[in-house]
Amino acid sequence: MKLFCLYNGIIKPEKLETLPKELFRKSIHWCTAFIPLLLKHFYWPIEILLILAVAGYTLSEILRLKGINVPLVSLITKTAARKRDEGKFVLGPVTLVLGIVIASLIFKSEYYTIGILSLAFGDGIASISGKMLGRIKIPFIYGKTVAGSLSCFFAIFICSFLISKNTASSIIIACSGMILEMLPLKDFDNLLIPIVLSFVAKLLIC
């Protein structure tokens, strides 16, 4: 507890209790950053593997809810699940993969890369920043924090700019991503962020 005093109260101790679980959850998001590279070299095999992964995970969750644990998969799900998901089908991994699959099927690589990287880093970093530094909450935005939203903006801006090299477009894409992340979408932000931001990128980037 004394260690927290060194941070002048920036990080709440009670938030740090849930931080390891949040880091574990978001590490799954961060791993999706490799998918655009894999799609570039093995497009259809990766698409098929992602769809099979969703089907396998869905079956695993149905079995878990019936009291039948699938080795490793059920353990990872229990470890990553939020309190709100207890006793329920954990939807996050499904929307995560479906968002990536739909975006990569509809849009060209430069656009879906922005969408997928925005999901990987924008949403992930926003959640961790909100947990660690989120003392100032945004009014009427369902508990979202200034730190989380700003972190989301800058993460998406950097990802977009690295791909597009266009500052104005990257700002608009980052604003769009930040607004999506602020909405009370629960696990459906995983679905919408890569699709919507891929679409915005397509509109803005020639």
pLDDT given for residue 22 in this prediction: 72
pLDDT given for residue 6 in this prediction: 40
97 strand-pairing partners: none
Task: Give me the long-range contacts of 151-155 (CB less than 8 A, separation at least 24).
Answer: 151/125, 151/126, 152/122, 152/123, 152/125, 152/126, 152/177, 152/178, 152/181, 153/122, 153/177, 153/178, 155/118, 155/121, 155/122, 155/124, 155/125, 155/126
Q: What is the pLDDT of residues 163-183, one digit of tens each?
A: 999 999 999 999 999 999 888
Q: What is the mean pLDDT of the chain?
A: 84
Distance CA 5, CA 180 (A): 34
Q: What is the pLDDT of residues 105-153, one digit of tens each?
A: 999 999 999 999 999 998 878 777 777 775 777 766 666 788 888 999 9
pLDDT given for residue 46 in this prediction: 97
> Which run of H or of E encompasses 23?
helix 13-31
Distance CA 129, CA 123 (A): 10
Handedness of CA 149, 152, 156, 158 (dihedral sign): positive
Per-residue pLDDT, averaged over 17-28, amounts to 72
Handedness of CA 140, 144, 145, 148 (dihedral sign): negative
Residue positions counted in the chain: 206
What confidence tier does 8 reach under pLDDT thresholds 50, 70, 90? very low
Distance CA 47, CA 59 (A): 19
pTM, two decimal places:
0.84
pLDDT of 80 above 80: no
